[in-house]
Amino acid sequence: MLKTSPIFCCLAASVILVSSLSAAEIRSTLSDQRELAVTIYNNDLALVKDQRKIKLESGLNSLALRDVSAQIRPETALLKSLDGRFSVLEQNFDFDLLTPQKLLEKFVGKSVEVIQTNPANGVEKREQADVLAANDGVVLKIGDRIETGMPGRIIYGNVPADLRDRPTLVVKLDNKTSKEQNVELSYLTGGLGWRADYVAELNAADDKLDLSGWVTLTNTSGTSYRNARLQLVAGDINRIREPQPAVGGVLRQEMMAKNASAPMEQETLLEYHLYTLERPTTIAESQTKQVALLSATAIPVRKEMLLKGSDYYYRASYGDLGHKMKVGVYVEFDNKESARLGMPLPKGIMRVYKNDSSGNAQFVGEDAIDHTPKNETVRLKLGDAFDVTADKKQTDFKKLPAPAKGSNSFESAYEIVLKNAKKERVTVTLQEPVPGDWKLLDSSHPGTKASSNTAVWKIEIPAEANVTLRYRVQVKY
């Protein structure tokens, strides 16, 4: 009886294993998809849960999951059988996509066939060529000559296995049955982002506004997400930044029509907020779309004209401090149920409109808001007033005897002329950041110490008139 050595047995087993693992692929496409859920976070991160129904062979299988994100983070991919019928042995993400240039690069050091056509008679000539290089062009060896550029059409014998027409995750697994089963692939990916965009319309009296909130989704991940259950997480999640492969693509703008769809439902998630769209939606590849987030009407608004000062001119003599200084225009409202709102507002851009005398909506300014919890105040700077300006100067400055060793004391006086060219009365708030230990010695208008380093005045200016504020302050350092 012939005995078989242990080494031969091990080699034979290895050959069988390699042969099994390199068997024909079983491909899974979007036609196998049964459910899809996408959770998108701030800062270009999304969690995809892709459920598919597939049929595998019993034993070792090579499953190619096509149409995954081109920006998948492969180390986060998790494939599991919802029926508990296989175990995963290894997985590979093939992101080298098939293009003429990539195909040429894969054939460096290999032979191809070159077909050249005689322009005079149209006769084709076929020659074997070795690809020497494909960097910034092509270098071919044809017979005993070297040619650069593309001398004709290049015919390739095959497409290398590591070139894919779509991003593909290839999983080697050990399957226990040949029956159909439900599997779920979950992974984190870049290329999916969202932001909140708000449109507010002020009424004629500037004391109420109507507010619409929209979620703007952008997909540059390299694949589409059809009929997905969409959820959005608002909040600043801690992430470890790692370099990701760059993925090209042209962004196609496709804005969803603004209709009266139901707002998104929201709930808390750890220390963040989760927004859920109550209907499935499709996020196409290279697409930007909008879905409704919220809608509220007649929200009470407070408008403020604000002139902010600086703290540097309380320490030295400066004289003139500015002419025709801009007065900022702000609006603010409370994010409360009593103000017809009262829901967590994700950070985004709020754009404000107002109707002109003909009833046409005109853009009057925009500002960014941060994540704003319920019962907090939203404050927007819309711009600077055209008809309300200020001239400012320092009218007196003197250094006082030092009250203690190592300290300084100063006294200074100021004049601010507020000018109103409008045909109605306005109120301007003046904020002066005063440094050190200070006190207001004299003021032509009542002022308040709003905080340890801020003096505030609210001054009414009649229509087409000027009002002058004069004050004197003492500062110790």
Q: How many Å apart are CA 395 and CA 415, to the nearest integer?
A: 7
Condensed to tens digits (0 to 9), the pLDDT of residues 324-355 reads 999 999 999 999 999 889 888 999 999 999 99
The torsion region of residue 32 among left (phi > 0), alpha (psi -120 to 50) and beta comes to alpha
Cα 426 from Cα 445, distance rounded (Å) = 16
Task: Confirm if 389 and 461 have CB atoms less than 8 A apart.
Answer: no
Residue 259 has pLDDT above 70, yes or no: no
Assess whether pLDDT exceeds 60 at residue 32. yes
Q: How confident is the prediction for the chain on average, in pLDDT?
A: 86
**Does CATH number 3.30.110 belong to domain 22-36+48-96+164-189?**
no
Higher pLDDT, 151 or 357: 357
Please name which of 223, 218, 158 lies closest in space to residue 194, comparing C-alpha atoms.
Answer: 218
pLDDT bracket for residue 21 (50, 70, 90): very low
Which of these ranges, 47-56, 81-90, 161-170, has the smallest mean pLDDT?
161-170
3-state secondary structure 42-74: CCCEEEEEEEEEEECCCEEEEEEEECCCCCECH
pLDDT of 356 > 70? The answer is yes
| Fold annotation for 302-331+383-476 | Immunoglobulin-like (2.60.40)
Most confident of 137-141, 362-366, 369-373: 362-366
Q: Where does the pLDDT of residue 240 fall: very low under 50, low under 70, confident under 90, or very high at 90 and above?
A: low
pLDDT score of 297 more than 80: yes
Q: Which residues contact 465 (CB under 8 A, 6 or more apart)?
A: 420
**Tens digit of pLDDT for each residue in 169-209?**
999 999 988 889 999 999 999 999 999 999 999 999 999 99
pLDDT digits (tens, 9 = 90+) for 408-452: 899 999 999 999 999 999 999 999 999 999 999 999 999 999 999
Cα separation, 195 vs 217, in Å, equals: 7
pLDDT at 360 over 80: yes
pLDDT at res. 404:
73
Q: What is the pLDDT of residues 157-173, one digit of tens each?
A: 888 877 777 788 999 99
pLDDT at residue 315 is higher than 50: yes
CATH 2.60.40: which residues of the chain? 302-331+383-476
Higher model confidence: residue 55 or residue 8? 55
Tokens of 258: 């603004």
pLDDT at residue 267 in the model: 76
Q: Are 416 and 461 in contact (CB under 8 A)?
A: no
Q: What is the arithmetic mean of pLDDT over 391-409?
A: 88
**What was the pLDDT predicted at 474?**
95
| Predicted local distance difference test score (pLDDT) of residue 257 | 35
SS (H, E, C) 178-238: CCEEEEEEEEEECCEEEEEEEEEEECCCCCEEEEEEEEEEEECCCCCEEEEEEEEEECCCC
**Cα separation of 265 and 351, whole Å?**
23
pLDDT at 247: 41
pLDDT value at 83 more than 70: yes
* Across 30-39, 274-283, 460-469, least confident range: 274-283
Residues of the chain with CATH 2.60.120: 22-36+48-96+164-189
